Amino acid sequence: MEQQEVAAILNVALMAAFADGMKSEVERESVRRLAETLDPAGSLNLAALYRDVLVGKPELAGVVAPLGSDGARHLAYEMAVGVCDADGVQSPAERVFLTRLAQALALPAAEAGALADEGDAIAAAAVPEQPFAAPAPDSAPATATAGTQRASTLTQAERDKLILDAAVMNAALELLPESLSTLAIIPLQVRLVYRIGRSFGYEMDASHARDFLATVGVGLTSQYLEQAGRKLLGGLLGTLTGGIGRGIGRQAASSGLSFASTWALGRVAERYYAGGRTLDRQTLQSAFGALRDEARALAPRYADEITTRSRSIDPRALRSLVGKF
């Protein structure tokens, strides 16, 4: 794509990020920093785009005007869907934005609606329809003091496998060109935290798990924007209906980061819920950072498994993939 098309797609993605007001100051700051770090040379002037979206609120018709091909327009809409669903299913304000965007892009209503529904389905799959069984009260005390450990319905070996499987799957998803494949990474992280919390006897839902991600410093909207943005800038991002190709070689570094973040998230969640949720925000963030560094060194050991897993993923069945985890 031409540089002006790339800039237009990123502008649309930033507009999608603020469609519901983005009330979280932490997330707003993450997106601001991302706008600067994604374009260090300043060739796309993403920092200016961020300011324009936040303050100027540009008209959609003008923003999407540079998108001359059907593929670019489709990709812009799909990426906007991913942004809107990154922190959960679309809010009413986000649905209104996506409707206006589809009209500005001249996308058929049925096609746009199907993509929006797919994004919502992937986001909703983060929490299982049938809740996991919690431990019996006598094996999982309601409270825990410093130095005590809550019992879990999962053995240590089972938790190890759960965390590793999630890390490998998310690393594999990062290798795919489809932007909605990138969206599936976040529901899998939410589901991982959900399952670990439930295994230690806590009543969990999607909001509890997402709050935990935010507490340890894993942004939802900003994480999706960063992953999809890097693919777009690297020429690797395709669409759900026909990607550019699986850029496994060039995406290896990003894949390793997804592996590390997911593995560290699982490990710190394990510590938090096993210890009776007594760790504070600073301790959690410090532990997450150290574990993520540890996992970066661990990721190359699973490179072949990640590549093999990526080749087995059907990007048209992402909801099922998340729901079965």
pLDDT digits over 21-79, tens only? Answer: 766 676 677 777 776 676 666 677 777 777 888 777 789 999 999 998 888 899 899 98
Q: Give me the helix-helix angle, 109-124 and 185-199, nearest 10°.
A: 30
220 and 312 assigned to the same domain = yes
196 and 319 assigned to the same domain = yes
**End position of a domain, from candidates 123, 139, 168:** 123
74 and 222 assigned to the same domain = no
108 and 143 assigned to the same domain = no
Quote the pLDDT of residue 41.
Answer: 66
Domain count across the chain: 2
For the stretch 128-173, pLDDT in tens is: 655 544 444 434 444 444 456 888 999 999 999 999 999 999 999 9
30 and 64 assigned to the same domain = yes
Q: Which domain holds residue 38?
A: 3-123
114 and 153 assigned to the same domain = no
Quote the pLDDT of residue 297.
Answer: 92
**End position of a domain, from candidates 123, 140, 166:** 123
Alpha helices, DSSP H only, in the chain?
Answer: 3-17, 25-37, 46-51, 60-64, 70-85, 92-104, 109-124, 156-174, 179-183, 185-199, 206-216, 221-233, 252-274, 281-298, 303-312, 318-324
**End position of a domain, from candidates 123, 155, 172:** 123
21 and 136 assigned to the same domain = no
Chain centroid to Cα 94, Å, comes to 17
Q: Give me the helix-helix angle, 25-37 and 3-17, nearest 10°.
A: 170
**For residue 242, is pLDDT > 70?**
no
320 and 230 assigned to the same domain = yes
7 and 45 assigned to the same domain = yes
**For residue 216, is pLDDT > 60?**
yes
Q: What is the 3-state secondary structure (H, E, C) of 214-225?
A: HHHCCCCHHHHH
